[in-house]
Structure 1
Amino acid sequence: MKTPVSPALVAVVGPVEPALLAAWTAHYRRFGIERFHLAFHFPDHVPDTWRHQLIAASHDLGIVPAQISTGPWHEHTNTQLRDSLREQAGTGWHLIADSDEFQTYPSPLAAVIAQAETARHKVIGGLVLDRATNDGRLALWRPETGLDRAFPLGGHLTHRLLKGDPRKIVLAHSSVTVASGNHRAPGHKPDPDTLACVHHFKWRSGVLDDLRRRVDRFTSGEWAEHTPAVRSEASRLLQHIDRHNGRIDVADPRLAFRRVTLDRLPDGWAAEATKIATTWRPHTAQSQSGSTISSPSPSP
């Protein structure tokens, strides 16, 4: 049987807004994605009504969830669900994206995969670009506004402020194992000169409650962790927000926020992303194998 040209999309989805799921699905369908392998996980604090709404929204989008689970969001929860989905997706290329990650590629997806296969690469990489509002407020997003208009700025919050790993494996062949958080594939290195831009729409209204909950539950041991990376990054963001009156400091030149859009790579992206990806090193307090705050949100 011939392997389908279009990769299967694999994603673990937390209790995001149904409108975000709809925008995310539409974004990847524009790339020609037809097969969505989604697992929904709901921590115990999520109301039943939210869970039912999101599952109904998935069905309305023509996607039958491969798995639905509830309970603690342990650090290993996402990895176990993701790997189960990849097994179900079968042989071929898998596009791996969190539900707040909208990837943009340097060329059409089929060409990106063909180029990788010609070079005998089994993974394709990307780099996180955090999206923010014009004034750094953690805004309530309305679908009629559109993500690009609501969060027009893109910058390097994840690694320059939070000390998280901005590297992502965005496409991997089914024969390749991907590490926790989708940051690495042991034994495989993506081409650093053709990195996708992973637009990260995490910084929305409600995320602060999620971050505080992560810190509390990982600290108490209610949610199991392998490294302190998730807690440390969440704490850095909360401290930053407190110092800046509830906002991200989008004027900080270190974070390099500027206007970007989903329909093309940011100006100068290839050189910028290559430099960051090749020089980034784990923060001293963070194991390189650890997950980061950019893993799927338990709840924004």
Structure 2
Amino acid sequence: MLSTPPALISVIGPVEVPLLAAWVRHYRWLGIERFLIAFHFPEHVPDRHGHELQAACRELGVIPTGSSTGPWHEHTNTELRDTLRQAAGPGWHLLADADEFQQYPAPLPEVIAQAEKSGRRVIGGLMLDRVAASGHLTGWRPEGGLDLAYPLGGHLTHRLLRGDPRKIVLARHDVTVSSGNHRAPGHRPDADRICAVHHFKWRSGVLDDLRRRVQHFSSGTWKEQSPAVRDEASRLLAHVGQRGGVINISDPRLAFRRVNLDRMPFGWPAEARSIFTSWRPHVPTGQD
């Protein structure tokens, strides 16, 4: 007997209204019926934008569980997420940020049934960073869609930024998930069944967000648990700063190629398995 559909858990910041709408539609298409969303807005976000997002959310048929404002400490997201998970109750929880569009090789009920059959309590994903064909950090038109605006997918997060590309995309309600949904201590996903997490972060406005993140974490205005998030932001800013604001899409390490949300990337199972099993945290050499 299959489990009930998972509850989607997400803490959402000041994204564009069209991105939120596309995100809700995507997960409904995957079969999600319950959305537990909390909004959190740092101090620089105009009240009007927060109100617009919450109104749009309701128009989409999703009632936000809560909304808060203030510093975005590194622990803020985790605490809000865990409060939502507690409210969601028993069953499977799907964990996704508003710029993460998960893609599975089979319908979600089959994916969950396979995990339960094998005794696993988590399902893993791997980030696939989506960028514009030019490498510029552009905006996008809702009528064209995200695939048209950001047709390339590659491995920017871990090969350039040295961040953890691994994600826990689904977890049973009683499984503890680490900050950023990167790990579930004591639980190992099936490396042969890794979901693609299309990561639409690299859009217009992200550079201002990254600069703000570096500034606030460096000054202590926002509290961090380690310098990793700040260092990743600094690496992206340095990369585009040396290239006139453009991501180097021709760098073979980053493996950018055309992908879309309609079908899994060619060769994904082997590619994802290799990265998922070999990734290790970056150890500074003193030359970073």
**TM-score interval (norm. to shorter):** over 0.9
Gaps of 5+ in 2: none
- The residue aligned with 2:205 is 206
- Residue 245 of structure 1 and its aligned partner are, at CA, apart by 1.0
What do the CA deviations read for 1:76-116 (whole angstroms, capped 9, x no partner)?
Answer: 00000000000000000000000000000011100000000
- The residue aligned with 1:290 is none
Distance 1:32 1:280 in 2: 31
* Contact 2:2-2:113 at 8 Å conserved across structures: no
* Contact 2:163-2:281 at 8 Å conserved across structures: yes
* Contact 2:2-2:109 at 8 Å conserved across structures: no
- 1:284-295 alignment runs, 5 A limit: 284-285=283-284
- The residue aligned with 1:31 is 30
Matched letter for residue 208 of structure 2: D
- The residue aligned with 1:293 is none
* Contact 2:100-2:200 at 8 Å conserved across structures: yes
- Residue 243 of structure 1 and its aligned partner are, at CA, apart by 1.1
Q: Matched residue pairs, number?
A: 285
* Contact 1:3-1:92 at 8 Å conserved across structures: no
- The residue aligned with 1:142 is 141
Distance 1:272 1:123 in 2: 20
Distance 1:148 1:68 in 2: 30
Say which SS state the counterpart of residue 36 (structure 1) adopts.
strand
Say which SS state the counterpart of residue 74 (structure 2) adopts.
coil
Comparing 124-133 and 140-149, the one that deviates more: 140-149
- The residue aligned with 1:158 is 157
What do the CA deviations read for 1:179-213 (whole angstroms, capped 9, x no partner)?
Answer: 00000000000000000000000000000000000
Distance 2:10 2:284 in 1: 28
- Residue 166 of structure 1 and its aligned partner are, at CA, apart by 0.3
- The residue aligned with 1:97 is 96
Distance 2:211 2:284 in 1: 20
- Residue 285 of structure 1 and its aligned partner are, at CA, apart by 4.1
Task: Give the superposed CA RMSD.
Answer: 1.2
Distance 2:107 2:145 in 1: 23
When residues 3 and 111 of structure 1 are mapped into structure 2, their CA distance, relative to the original with a 3 A threshold, is closer
Under a length normalisation based on structure 1, what TM-score does the superposition of the two structures give? 0.94
Matched letter for residue 238 of structure 2: Q
Under a length normalisation based on structure 2, what TM-score does the superposition of the two structures give? 0.97
- The residue aligned with 1:69 is 68
Distance 1:8 1:152 in 2: 29
- 1:145-294 alignment runs, 5 A limit: 145-285=144-284
* Contact 2:137-2:204 at 8 Å conserved across structures: yes
Q: Which runs of 4+ in 1 moved over 2 A?
A: none
**Higher RCO (C-alpha 8 Å, min separation 6):** 1
Distance 1:102 1:244 in 2: 28
* Contact 1:3-1:91 at 8 Å conserved across structures: no
